[in-house]
C-alpha cells in the first residue's frame, strides 16, 4: 500500500497502537523517475475497521527539510493507517496522570542509554536511545532533551534515525573547541555507533563508529556518513570521546566484545590508532574513562562500564593500567549505562538510565538523578562519591514543603517527596541502632549493627554504622544516597523487589 503526501508543514503525525504486531513502514522521496529511501521503521499497527484509525499516541516525525516536496509512504498495511498519517504544523502533547518531576522521562515511547551528553552556552543537552514508535525496544534513534539546571527538562525533536548504515546505537558528544574537521569551534560533534544488520535496510553490514555534527546548538544533527573507525569486532560499540590535555590528543574508549575494551587516539578526529586493549572483570559495553579528584585535589583515574562496575587505575593518554579490582557503584541493578557530560569545567556530572517498566504508561524508562562524581579518601580507603547535583539544594529551598528532616544523636535523614506521598519514622528501636521509615506504603529499614538495609521485601548488605541518608521519592522512583554520597541505590515504590 502506498500514499503520496505533499509536505507543507513541519511534522508527519503517525498514530501508534501499543501492543500490536510490528510492520515495516518506509518513507521515500521522489526524484524524477526514481525514489530515494529516507526512513525505515518497524511500527505496531492494529486492525482497522470502518471508523477512522486512532492510535494510543502520535509520533511527530520532523520533515521540515522536505517542505515543498512530495514524500511516498509505503508498507504492508491497510489504507486506513496511511490515511491517518497527516502533515501537521506542531506537536500535541500527551497527557499522563503522573510522571516524575526530577527524573527525565520521554513524553511517549521507549528510552534507554543516555547519549551525547554535552554542555554548551548554559544548556545541558541530553540525547538518549529512543524508540518513538513503541514502548518496547526497537528502531533505535537519538531522542533529545534540554535543561538549564539538570532538573527541569524539555523534550525536543528526535535528531538521529536509523538509515542504511544501521540503527543509531549509543555514543557521546563534545564541543569542537579546537576547530577540527573544517567546522567552527562552536559546533557540537557527536560520535555514535551505527548498528549494521539491525534493520532490513543495513542487512549484511557490520557495526561501525560514525560522526554527526550540529551547527544550530544541538537542535539538528547532520550525519557525515563516513566511518570514523572501521569495525574492530562484530558488535563493537558505544564510543566515548574526550580531549586528553596531558598527551594532547583525543581519546576514544570503545567496547569491543565480551569483557574487552579498546582505547584509541587521534589528533584530528579523523585518523585513529588503537593504543590499548584491556579486559575488565564483568565489564560490559557503554565505557567511560574519567579523571576525578579527591578532597585534597589529587587526581584519580577510573574506567566505567554499563552495569556500574568501575575500576581504579592510571591513564597516560595511551594505556589504562588498572589494579584489576572490580568496584560496584550501586546497591542494586536498576541504574545502567551511565555517561558523564563534556563541557562542564570543574564538575564531573553523570546520568544513568533507570531500567524501570512504567507499567500502564505511554512511555518506558527514566533517567536517574544527575550526580557529581568525586573521590573520598578515608583512612586507607578510596571511595567513589556520587553526590546529587548541587542544584538540588537550591530546589529544596523553594520547595521546602516537599522536604522532611529527621535527626538524632546517631542518624540524620533528609527526605524529598515530590508529591503527596507520606513519610514517617518509627523511633522505637533507634536506641538500638535500628531505624524504620515508611514512605507511602513502602517499608524501609536499616540495622546499623548488621549493615542490613531493607526496602520492601528485599534486604541488601551495606556498610555498618552509616549515619546519614538522603531519600528522594519522585513519582514511583525511590533514590537512596548514604554515607557521604558513597552509597547509591534506586528502587521502585510500586515494586520494591
- Residue numbers annotated as active site: 113
What is the Rg, in whole angstroms, of the alpha carbon atoms belonging to the chain?
A: 24
Beta bridge partners of 13: 60, 86
| Cell numbers placing 442 | 513502602
| Cell numbers placing 44 | 505496531
Q: Minimal CA–CA distance to 192: which of 224, 214, 170?
A: 170
What count of other Cβ atoms lies within 10 Å of the Cβ of residue 65?
11
Q: Are 191 and 269 in contact (CB under 8 A)?
A: no
Q: Where are the beta strands (DSSP E) in 45-102?
A: 57-62, 70-75, 86-88
> E strand or H helix at 469, and its extent?
strand 468-474
Distance, C-alpha 282 to centroid of its chain: 21
| Cell numbers placing 25 | 513502514
**446-454 contacts at long range (C-beta below 8 A, 24 or more positions apart):** 448/410, 453/331, 453/480, 453/489
Q: Are 168 and 144 in contact (CB under 8 A)?
A: no
State the Cα–Cα distance between residues 119 and 346, nearest whole angstrom: 12
State the Cα–Cα distance between residues 65 and 406, nearest whole angstrom: 56
- Across 245-267, b (16+ Cβ under 10 Å) vs e yields eeeebbbbbbbbeeebbbbbbbe
State the Cα–Cα distance between residues 389 and 494, nearest whole angstrom: 26
Distance, C-alpha 129 to centroid of its chain: 7
| DSSP string computed for 297-311 | S-EEEEEE-TTSEEE
SS3 168: strand
SS3 397: helix
- Cβ-proximal residues to 428 (8 Å cutoff; 6+ apart), any chain: none
Amino acid at each position: 500500500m502506498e500514499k503520496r503526501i505533499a509536505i507543507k508543514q513541519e511534522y508527519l503525525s503517525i498514530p501508534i497502537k501499543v501492543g500490536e504486531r510490528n510492520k515495516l513502514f518506509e518513507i521515500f522521496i521522489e526524484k524524477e523517475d526514481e525514489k530515494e529511501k529516507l526512513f525505515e521503521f518497524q511500527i505496531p499497527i492494529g486492525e482497522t475497521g470502518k471508523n477512522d484509525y486512532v492510535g494510543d499516541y502520535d509520533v511527530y516525525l520532523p520533515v521540515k527539510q522536505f517542505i515543498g516536496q512530495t514524500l511516498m509512504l509505503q508498507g504492508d498495511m491497510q489504507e486506513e493507517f496511511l490515511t491517518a498519517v497527516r502533515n501537521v504544523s506542531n506537536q500535541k502533547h500527551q497527557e499522563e496522570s503522573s510522571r516524575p518531576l526530577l527524573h527525565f522521562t520521554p513524553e511517549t515511547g521507549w528510552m534507554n542509554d543516555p547519549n551525547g551528553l554535552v554542555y554548551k552556552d548554559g544548556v545541558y543537552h541530553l540525547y538518549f536511545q529512543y524508540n518513538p514508535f513503541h514502548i518496547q525496544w526497537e528502531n533505535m534513534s537519538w531522542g533529545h532533551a534540554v535543561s538549564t539546571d539538570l532538573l527541569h527538562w524539555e523534550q525536543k525533536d528526535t535528531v538521529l534515525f536509523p538509515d542504511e548504515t544501521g540503527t543509531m546505537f549509543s555514543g557521546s558528544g563534545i564541543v569542537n573547541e579546537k576547530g577540527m574537521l573544517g567546522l567552527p569551534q562552536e559546533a557540537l560533534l557527536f560520535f555514535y555507533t551505527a548498528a549494521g544488520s539491525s534493520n532490513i535496510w543495513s542487512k549484511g553490514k557490520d557495526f561501525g563508529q560514525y560522526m554527526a555534527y550540529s551547527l544550530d546548538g544541538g537542535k539538528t544533527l547532520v550525519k557525515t556518513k563516513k566511518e570514523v573507525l572501521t569495525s574492530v569486532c562484530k558488535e563493537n560499540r558505544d564510543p566515548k570521546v574526550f580531549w586528553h590535555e596531558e598527551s594532547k590528543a583525543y581519546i576514544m574508549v570503545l567496547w569491543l566484545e565480551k569483557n574487552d575494551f579498546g582505547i584509541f587516539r587521534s589528533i584530528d578526529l579523523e585518523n585513529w590508532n588503537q593504543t590499548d586493549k584491556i579486559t575488565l572483570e564483568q565489564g560490559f559495553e557503554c565505557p567511560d574513562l574519567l579523571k576525578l579528584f579527591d578532597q585534597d585535589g589529587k587526581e584519580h583515574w577510573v574506567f566505567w562500564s554499563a552495569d556500574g562496575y568501575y575500576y581504579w587505575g592510571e591513564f597516560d593518554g595511551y594505556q589504562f593500567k588498572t589494579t584489576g579490582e572490580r568496584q560496584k557503584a550501586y546497591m542494586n541493578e536498576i541504574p545502567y549505562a551511565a555517561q558523564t557530560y563534556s563541557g562542564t569545567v570543574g564538575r564531573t556530572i553523570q546520568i544513568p538510565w533507570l531500567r524501570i517498566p512504567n507499567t500502564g504508561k505511554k512511555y518506558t524508562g527514566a533517567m536517574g538523578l544527575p550526580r557529581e562524581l568525586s573521590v573520598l579518601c578515608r583512612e586507607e580507603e578510596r571511595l567513589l562519591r556520587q553526590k546529587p547535583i548541587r542544584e538540588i539544594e537550591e530546589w529544596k529551598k523553594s520547595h521546602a514543603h516537599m522536604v522532611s528532616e529527621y535527626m538524632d544523636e546517631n542518624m540524620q535523614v533528609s527526605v524529598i517527596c515530590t508529591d503527596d506521598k507520606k513519610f514517617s519514622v518509627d523511633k522505637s528501636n533507634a536506641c538500638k541502632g535500628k531505624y524504620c521509615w515508611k514512605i507511602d506504603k513502602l517499608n524501609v529499614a536499616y540495622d546499623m549493627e548488621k549493615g542490613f538495609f531493607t526496602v520492601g521485601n528485599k534486604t541488601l548488605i551495606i556498610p555498618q554504622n552509616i549515619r546519614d541518608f538522603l531519600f528522594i521519592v519522585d513519582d514511583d522512583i525511590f533514590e537512596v544516597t548514604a554515607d557521604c554520597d558513597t552509597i547509591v541505590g534506586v528502587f521502585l515504590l510500586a515494586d520494591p523487589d
